[in-house]
Structure 1
Amino acid sequence: MFERLGIGGVAGLVVLLAGILLIAWENLIIAAGLAFVLAGLGLLVRALIGNVMRQFGMV
């Protein structure tokens, strides 16, 4: 999985996790809510990209 992300993707993932951990250090419930929002946004973007690629016949 990490080879598909590249160095920029791995760095972004590390920064994202560090941010959630920093928020969790202060307030665990807000960090959990933020993690759910980011996971939902990721699923939405994945679905949109999949639909666009399917329309262009790439999948």
Structure 2
Amino acid sequence: MLDKLGPLGIVGIVILLSGIGLVAYVDFRIAAGLALILAGMGLVVKSLVTGMLQSFGMF
């Protein structure tokens, strides 16, 4: 999976995880909520991209 992301995607994941870690240092419940929001948004984006690719006949 990491080879498909590229270096910019890996840096993005590192920044994302460090941000959640910083929030978790202050309050764990807020960090858990942010992590759930980000996971949900990721699933929505994946679904939209998959649907778009299917409409073009690519996937």
TM tier relative to shorter chain: over 0.9
1:1-59 superposed matches below 5 A = 1-59=1-59
TM-score normalized by the length of structure 2: 0.99
Q: Following the alignment from structure 1 to structure 2, what is the Cα–Cα distance between the partners of residues 3 and 52?
A: 23
**Unaligned ranges ≥5, structure 1:** none
**Unaligned ranges ≥5, structure 2:** none
Equivalent pairs counted in the alignment come to 59
* Offset, 1:24: 0.1
Aligned identity (percent) is 47
One-letter code aligned to 2:17: L
* Offset, 1:36: 0.1
Instruction: Provide runs of 4+ in structure 1 moved above 6 Å.
Output: none
Root-mean-square deviation (CA), in Å?
A: 0.2
